[in-house]
Chain A
Amino acid sequence: MSDLKRTQLYGVHVAAGATMVDFGGWEMPIKYPTDIVAEHLYTRHACSLFDVSHMGRILVEGPETVPFLQHVLSSNVMALDLNQAQYAIIPNENGGAVDDAYLYRFEEDRYLLVVNAANTDKDLEHLREQIKSYDAKMTVITGDWAAIAVQGPRAKDILQVLSGGQAVTEPVKNALNTLRFEGRTVRVAKTGYTGEPIGYEVYIESAEAAWLWNRLIELGAKPAGLGARDTCRLEACLPLYGHEMGTDPEGKEIPVFAVPLAKFAVSFSPQKGDFIGREALAKQYEVFRRIMNRDFSDLTDLPRRILPITLLDKGVMRAGMPVYKGDKRIGYVTSGTMVPYYRHEGEGLGTVILEETAKRSIGLAILDSDTLEDDQVQIDVRGRRLKAVIPPYHMRVDAPPFARPILYRPVEEDAAPASGDRKPKALDLIGRAVENHVWRQEKCVNLIPSEMTPSRAVRLLCASDPSFRYAEHKKVKSFYDADVFYYQGTEFIDEVERLLVEEMKAFMGCAEVETRCVSGQMSNTCVFSALMDWKNRLNRKQDPRRLGYIMNNHIIKGGHLSAQPMGALHDYIAIDPVTERHALVNFPVLKDNIYKIDVEETKKAIDRYRPEFIIFGKSMVLHREPVAAIREYVDEMGLETTIMYDMAHVLGLTGDHFQKPFQEGAEIVTGSTHKTFFGPQRGIVGVNYKKGELKYGLWETIESRAFPGSVSNHHLGTQLGLLMAAYEMNQFKDAYQAAVVSNAKSFARSLKAAGLDVAGDPAIDYTETHQVIVNVGYGTGPEVAMRLERNNIICNYQATPEEEGFTASGALRMGVNEMTRFGFGPAGFDRLAQIMADCILRGKEVREDVEALRAGYTEMRYCFGEDDVVSALNDLAKKSGI
């Protein structure tokens, strides 16, 4: 094997006893003595190292780098921000693939293109021909920098030891970072070829490669060879050049759009312009679109597609085996083998990964494009026709930190419709509701920061008559903006709504309030819809333009779901034609306090993106939002930006003890009435636009997007209850708000003293709101939260700004608001902190301690409890029969 090239880590592999093979001209480890099955499994449950230094690494730089890359790659290079990577195809003129590649932007002006080892020479020849027309140059750095893939659920913990605790990258796929590992410079990418949700590729100078490899092994990673790399990528349905790209088993070129990843890797943006293969790819895309709509009438440009395939009979499928549907040969297996997995048991979040393993024969196949998911097919396994099926996928990674194998489940038949005598069911339902009420209200300590138990007065009013009624109303200009109601019998609720508006204006400190939205999310939808309508008011003859740029808090930095494109912004946010992504920019956060907006960096982002809309507010919130500073900056810049604060969580803290957004310059505030506020579950919109101002028209639009835009019946019972809650809040807010903030600080200190890892800035006692965040260990949040629930402490697990998503959560989010209302003070929270530390740190069962603690706090504070009020409520209960 003397002609073969060797990577910087060749000696390490040989010393570890690896079986070395020729792979694309490189002498590479196919497996170590542990063997492929164990290496695959170790990747999935812990962390494996793969030497990927054989991959071709080409540095591209020069004034025309971007136009050159736009021309030779399928992807939109303009969409690639600094410290991001993207997957791309190097297409040929026919719409086939010269290779597939990953493009990294570690530096502002230099791009790193990583290609398949076996294709490097061919790729370079192709690229050198193309680069002649551009003022740009390529340098092959394959020998200068080694590359080690660190893949598996423990990868992040291991790398963070080397970084001294610093976050390795942002916790999102394709994020990049340059940092130091124990004094050595490394470039880290959150990328990989195993499908692992927690996977990195680390680039380091060749001389340090062996050091890094050995250090990673000391920290618990194990080496894995190309064999396990192949089974992992197959399980993840990732294409391999030469199998799913290039030519098929019949020798025909595989169209790029045959690979499912193509739809992410190919851009037809006008900004990208013409590029190699564009015309052929556009034709394939047209067919692809028709196929997705199940129109199989003309498949000429995309006759076959790569789909996952699972063997149902016993056996092993291999590349090249023909696939049949009935008597018709519909294609071939392109990759196939037997892949191991850990068995699991339980449902949903309670799913437990067992130590027991099993194997399944899975693969990828290139099949006629009219093949559908769940189709029953057969594979010719050396003369035997074995049963197989087309599954939707082999694995999912949307519950990190683990990649979860998905075993094929046949389509289930519908269960029989419910039937029988309903009376026993009715009785059972009532009994269980009593049980639940007593448990939640008397036995549990509730720390969910978005919840509040309303007073008896609020609850009774919510259930009394205006509930179940309609009271649609709209202002009519002909009657000098008088509200006209469409139904009779609404005099009382009309008055209630007017009183509620006045109370909320007084509380929020603004000019106008809309109270008909029945949730905080609806309030946001209503505002976003109104803003878009307002933007397009002068031209109704074309499709309305969406909003953009919008600045918000990123969801993983604590931003509200309802202020994200996946939430209430969904139908209102534009796509930036240059990046082909949502026209969204996130508030930068401080490096040393990721819970706080970095005002100076935010100003730079405002300069760059000139957002037309800024949304403050978070659901994981420890700090005041810098409304005044940003208002000042926006005004100084003369921008037409609308500033909104979604106060969902902190609405009830509006005032001297937290912040007053309207005084600071917010124009719109939305909120939920049932988190720190005392109400039933509804939403609210307040604005500070006054009659005669230009933007008063926006306010009127918001009203019309509430009704008829969002609600027809606006839950009149809870609107009545909310008026009582507003009376309570305006009467008691000073004492309540002071107690909430000081209790939160006190609780945080007690938790810290009890040995728990409290997030936030100790200098301000960790929090300025009702929330306290405790880190319990990466990925353990769900388990700890469930353990606390068994012990009658109700809180919610939360992904911190460094974590990938809710299943990887390592924190608990707690609010002191509800318990403060039940009279908890520093002593109560200190006792609670001790009990929680016993349960979290020492695994102690604490249910009885919790019940005893809760029993001392049963009377609701900050509401009207005088004798005459109680007697009036008794009268209401009696006469309403509640």
Chain B
Amino acid sequence: MNFPAELKYTKDHEWFKDLGNDTALVGITDFAQSELGDLVFINLPQVGDEVIADESFCDVESVKAVSDVMSPCTGVIEEVNTELEDEPQLLNEDPYGAWIARIRDISACGELMSADEYEAFVQK
């Protein structure tokens, strides 16, 4: 299991990469993809959507079930990774490379953990 040190993590298993200027990339963690299993579909948000910290902004589906992806922060969707629409398995293959959305105008964040804290959290 991989926990890159430069990222922040939520208790709902999203990662948050601060790009400065109130923007960030978000995605799901290695632990999340491994628990979900083969991802076969992603319902991406729209550019311009307002998202709220700890609320669902996207959903991913495995063969067996659908799961909400919660936003780590409050802000506006600036860009979505449309590559995932045709290849949702990228979330399994490269969870930290396969970002879901870039969020701008971040006004607030939910509770975020460091890599060490998150690693301890998932091992509980």
Contacts and interface: CB of A to CB of B under 8 A. Distances in A.
Interface stretch (A310-318, A755-763, A771-779, A842-850): A310-318
Contact of B61 (A35, A338, A340): A338
Given A227-B64, A314-B85, A318-B66, A359 B37 contact: no
Q: Taking each of A30, A31, A37, A38, which has the highest tally of chain B beta carbons within 10 Å of its own beta carbon?
A: A37
Interface string A19-40: 1000000000011000111100
Contact of B41 (A227, A231, A315): A315
B37 A31 contact: yes
Contact of A35 (B37, B43, B66, B85): B37
Contacts of A36: 37-38, 62-64
Interface string A352-364: 0000000101000
A500 B68 CA distance: 83
Contacts of A619: none
- The DSSP consensus for interface residues of chain A is mixed
Contact of A338 (B41, B43, B59, B85): B41
B41 to A, nearest CB: 5
Contact of A315 (B37, B38, B43, B89): B43
Contacts of B37: 19, 31, 35-36, 227
A339 B38 CA distance: 11
B40 interface: yes
B66 A316 contact: yes
A359 B40 contact: yes
Nearest to A37: B38
Given A231-B63, A337-B63, A316 B85 contact: no
Contacts of B38: 35-38
Contacts of A340: 40
A361 B63 contact: no
A357 to B, nearest CB: 10
Interface string A333-361: 00001111000000000000000000101
A337 B43 CA distance: 14
Interface in B23-72: 37-38, 40-41, 43, 59, 61-64, 66
A359 B41 CA distance: 9
A31 B61 CA distance: 16
Contacts of B63: 36-37, 227, 231, 337-339
A35 B64 CA distance: 11
Q: Taking each of B37, B61, B64, B66, which has the highest tally of chain A beta carbons within 10 Å of its own beta carbon?
A: B64
Contacts of A318: 66
A337 B66 contact: no
Contacts of A337: 40, 63-64
Contacts of A31: 37
B91 to A, nearest CB: 13
Nearest to A228: B63
Nearest to A226: B64
A843 B61 CA distance: 46
A316 B85 CA distance: 12
A13 to B, nearest CB: 16
B40 A37 contact: yes
Contacts of B61: 316, 338
Nearest to B85: A314
Interface string A512-551: 0000000000000000000000000000000000000000
Interface in A357-376: 359, 361
A504 to B, nearest CB: 66
A31 B62 CA distance: 13
Q: Taking each of B38, B41, B61, B89, which has the highest tally of chain A beta carbons within 10 Å of its own beta carbon?
A: B38
Interface of A: 19, 30-31, 35-38, 227, 231, 314-316, 318, 337-340, 359, 361, 382
14 contacts: A30-B64, A35-B38, A37-B38, A37-B63, A38-B38, A314-B85, A316-B61, A318-B66, A337-B63, A337-B64, A338-B41, A339-B63, A359-B41, A361-B41
The 9 closest A-B pairs by CB, nearest first: A338-B40, A37-B38, A36-B63, A35-B38, A316-B61, A316-B41, A35-B37, A337-B63, A359-B40
